[in-house]
Each structure stands twice: as C-alpha cells, then as structure tokens.
Amino acid sequence: MADAKVKKQSVTLSAEERAEYMAQFVLDPSCMAANTLQRLVTVQDGEKLNGIALEKELKKQSQQVVKGDLTQLEEMLVVQARTLDTLFGTLTTRAAANMGEYTNAAEIYLRLALKAQSQSRTTVETLAAIKNPPLVIATQANVTTGPQQVNNTITTDLRAKKSEPAPTEQSGDTRELLPDTRAPGAALAPDLSLATVGEVHRAADGSRQGEIVTEPLARRTA
C-alpha cells in the first residue's frame, strides 16, 4: 500500500514532502495496522487484501471507539476469549495423549494450555470491567504521580485541642506561667533581708574572705 501511494504521488512531491509523507504513514496507527494485515492475511486463491480499503475500515472503527461506541472492541474480546478457551482444550487433549510415554511433550503442551486458559480468563475479566466498571466512592482523592486514594475521616477538632495549653492546677488560668498579682512596686522592690554575705560576715583579714563567705552559706544550708 505504501509503494502504491508513493509511486502515485512521487511525481508531484518533493524530497522534503516525500519524507514528511512517509513519516506520517509510519506514525499513523491505521496505516501500520493495514500494512501488517496485508502482509499476514491472504484471501482465497492467494489474493492479497486491499491496503487502502483496510486503512479506511480501521479508521472508521477507531472513530467509533473515540466517540464512545465500544461494540467492536467488546465483540473482539468475546471472540478472543472463546478462541483462547478452544486453544486450552486442544492443548490439554494433546498433553493427555502424551502423558503415558512422552512426558516432556506432555509437560510442554500442558504449560501452553494453562497459559491459554490464563489469557482467556484475563480477557473475560477485561470485558467484565468494560461492561460493569467498578464503583469507587472516595471522600477525598489526592493524586500525585500515580493513581492514589486517601480517605481523610479525622476531623480537625483534635488538632485544635492539641494546640490549646491545659490550665494550671493552682491558678486555673490557661497560661502555663502563674500571673504576677503583686503590685508593681512590690514586684520590683529588692528583698533587703538578703544582704551580701560578705558585708554581714566580713572578716577583719581580707585575705580570708573566701573562706568566711562559704561558711555562712554552709550553715544556712544546714
């Protein structure tokens, strides 16, 4: 199909336009799928499929899926599931036929049969998910780099209670420190009864002042 299009349009296309056209052809899913089907599938008497007709039909089916019509895809999945199930039965029969004498061949057939069975089950699950998508109820969804779901059911009252300091036992006030209820003058006045130890118990000899200072402190502590 690509050769036919290039030969038909190469007369009017420049080298740059031809390269652009080929890039569009390679990146077009319908064109590549049509090219693959044309190489793999043969009609009766060895006749090849028409690439242009395949491309048009593939684009038509793709547009139906884009619009939300999944009829073709659902039919495809049903047929694939049935085909894989048939393949499972055929391979299991061949494995059973070789179990008595050719155990290695029986093991190979059985492994292939189980793979076909697994693929058939996966296809059925995919079809069921398309027909009946799961219902997800989320309180809050936080999506970052991938599909994640976080349900936040804890209220913010607990956070508010943690930030409030508990009242003290003596004052009943909500602050941690006790309030200063004294008058300003009393709060700032020095305590005259606490005089300097050196002035009250000063020795005649100034060199022994350090010893005299510690002695009254020891007595007062005792």
Answering whether pTM is above 0.75, one says no
pLDDT in tens, the chain (222 residues): 445 554 554 557 788 888 888 898 888 889 889 988 888 887 777 777 888 899 999 999 999 988 989 898 999 999 999 999 999 999 999 999 998 889 999 999 999 999 999 999 999 999 999 888 888 776 665 666 666 555 555 444 444 455 555 555 555 555 555 555 665 555 555 555 555 555 555 555 555 554 455 555 545 555
In angstroms, the CA 72 to CA 101 distance is 45
Q: H helices of 28-102, where?
A: 29-40, 51-66, 71-98
Give the CA count within 13 Å in the CB-facing half-sphere of 107: 3
Domain ranges of the chain: 1-69, 70-143+150-158
Q: Is-contact 216 198, C-beta < 8 A?
A: no
According to DSSP H, which parts of 67-164 are helical? 71-98, 103-131, 157-163
